[in-house]
Structure 1
Amino acid sequence: MADILRAVKGMNDILPPGVPRSEKLPDSALWQWFETTVRSVLGRYGYQHLLTPVVEPTALFVRGLGEVTDIVEKEMYSFVDSMNGDKLTLRPEATAGIVRAMIEHNALYNGPLRIWTMGPMFRHEKPQKGRYRQFNQLDVEALGFAGPDVDAEMILIGRTLWRELGLVEGRHVRLELNSLGQPDERRAHRDALVRHFEQHADQLDTEAQRRLHSNPLRILDTKNPSMQALVESAPKLMDFLGEASLAHFASVRAVLDAAGLEYRVNPRLVRGMDYYNLTVFEWVTDQLGSQGTVCGGGRYDGLIEQLGGKPAPAVGFGLGIERLLLLIQELGLPVPSTAPRVYAIVTSAGAVPQAIVALEALRAAGVPVLMHAGGGSMKAQFKRADASGARYALIFGDDEVARGEVALKDLRQAEAPQRSLPIAGASTWAGDLLNA
């Protein structure tokens, strides 16, 4: 027998509920609930859906993310197109592709846009819980808006989403906030950082030494315990911010304060991409071990021009879907049931035509119905009906069908009497099944 072919390491199947799996991963019902919630929340904020290709020119990410970022240096899935020699990459993040689409289609010609997308991203890194080589991300962007009000709106969208999913901000997830200022302010801070770390070069680990002159800001994000004291004593970016940057940050905080949202100003908070400026934020949790960041984003006013478009401000965030759903699982939060409302038991092949016609009428009226298939005894079918989680069983027995009837049994209230209903009038009693 041929060897079993398996998924690529770090790339996972999302399976239906009840299907055995080798690793604790969110099932497709949890995903579906999350996606439905996202569409509802973002629709209320006036954000429109956008889809971009999974494959983009490699140069897009080199130019957009920065040549010395970990993503570009070590994590991208890049290849040469055998047809024409183009250098292509499976997208490692969504923002650069969205900005490319905005520029290519002159999408901001008629004014600013609020948009969102959701789909797979790819990074070649060591797989671990909540961190995969193919992962899915929700990405929300507001393009063409310069004010701090939209920065705050982005953060409040997160709070609304947490509440809809049953998460409590401040307990299950908490907000951290910072300002990266403007490029000239960051350059002055960068020079001060380099001088600071050069004076303590003997305390830098290999990764910090590599980043010292290429991207010293990322040293502040180190997880190395032996470097924490050195990082804490480093110059703080906030001390280099000018009046306009400080005013922008103060305005963001004023909105969050007015909305009653608690947060912590974290002067060491940086983002992994080079394109961020001014407001940056992360929603973090203590429930997932080392993978504590659930959602992160901020303002990136220079990226559109950097990728060849007319200068325009922008702000957005990305949310790792697998990581968030794992958090919901870890916390044991209630998730809406995806069970059918009705399970149809059909006792013989002769009853199938009438049963299917009635079930189609119920489905057209909005009743979720699962029909037993493949035969089996009445006892076996009732066992399946109970395991399905359905509230009701409809029993299409030969005697009932001969009378033009179907039997209705409440599977969750044993004392409820069984009733007979007219098969031909299924659409007239469909509402009773939904509302009872």
Structure 2
Amino acid sequence: MHVDMDAFFASIEQRDNPEYRNKPIIVGGQARGVVSTCSYEARRFGVRSAMPIFEAKRKCPQGIFISQRGRVYREVSKQIHEILQSYSPLVEMASVDEAYLDITGLYNLFGPPVEIAQKIQKEIHVKTNGLTCSIGIAPIKFLAKIASDENKPNGIFIITNETMPGFLSELSISKIPGVGKKFLEELKKLGIKKCADVLQLDKIFLEKKFGKAGIMLFERASGIDTREVEPYTVKKSESAETTLSENVYDKKILKKWLLIHAERIGTRLRKDNLKGRTITVKVKFADFKQITRQLTLEKRTNATDTIFENACILLDELPLAKAVRLIGIGVSCFGDDKENKQLSLLTFADKQEEQRENLEIRRNHLDATLDTLRERYGKSAVMRGKLFTKTE
């Protein structure tokens, strides 16, 4: 089963603000950036997720543009997760607004699949004060996801073992997860539009031409998806980025945003008890061209200042021949640093190593204090001086 919340962010905004109901709500910012999600009223004007805000304004000038309230959305997502877990022990949150459930063997507890879906829809609607979801049910994972999109909003769609071959035969390859724009263009050159067309080709031919993507395509078209519902997925990275209100050349301004992002990322990593070794900086220019640069540390970290310091090193290495419209940081390569701590004891005689160790310890103590204060008194209770303007 795939449960997909309907226009999640926009629906929460309409729920919490009665004056927004039945109006075109677009979540993603006032001026720049991209649309995170939008209400169904806005979709009638052609507005879609990931669309640039300026294009959304052109298509829907009467739209109400709202900035995200991430904390609220995460709280509602957690509430939905708890509801789903009361039906199945195997729940995989694919994102903040969608989840997979393994409903094998639940017939005696909750009835047949349709009844389970109806009960879930009703409980989510009641406990979240009016939010709706669409549910897809199928024998395999990727088809369950596709099915949840068939009867939106607030719909249920079921693909059984008996109906799966017919459904697959007419399924457009553009709906298969993993088939992006470039891949789709190459497939269309071969005359491939539906899954039935894929099966006219040899699997070996697809593998030679497209590699692993070709194998994946052939398997999906054949109704093969061996992935199981994974209740817990190890986080692979943590990131934050911002589309700036206006294009920027000044690295001082960009570094201020790097510090804001490092603060966000560091807080999340410490909360999840994670440390990363790879720091990545992402820059998108005014012409929408994007570049990333990364470096790998000797030891993993979740210290805000260490993340910020290394992000600045990467930014300083970038020639800014064009103005920047988006700046972001990512931290990845998580793991346990016990082996590194043991190694540092063996090399502690080295003065520079000792200084680095002591600096990281001081930074960890500072971060722990800031985290405690913010947890108790709110995020704005204490701020780093570098984030203030001269007038402030």
Query: Which interval holds the TM-score relative to the shorter structure?
Result: under 0.3
Find the structure with the greater CA-based Rg.
1
- TM-score, normalised via structure 1 length: 0.23
Relative contact order, higher structure (CA 8 A, sep 6+): 1
- TM-score, normalised via structure 2 length: 0.25
Higher helix content, 1 or 2: 2
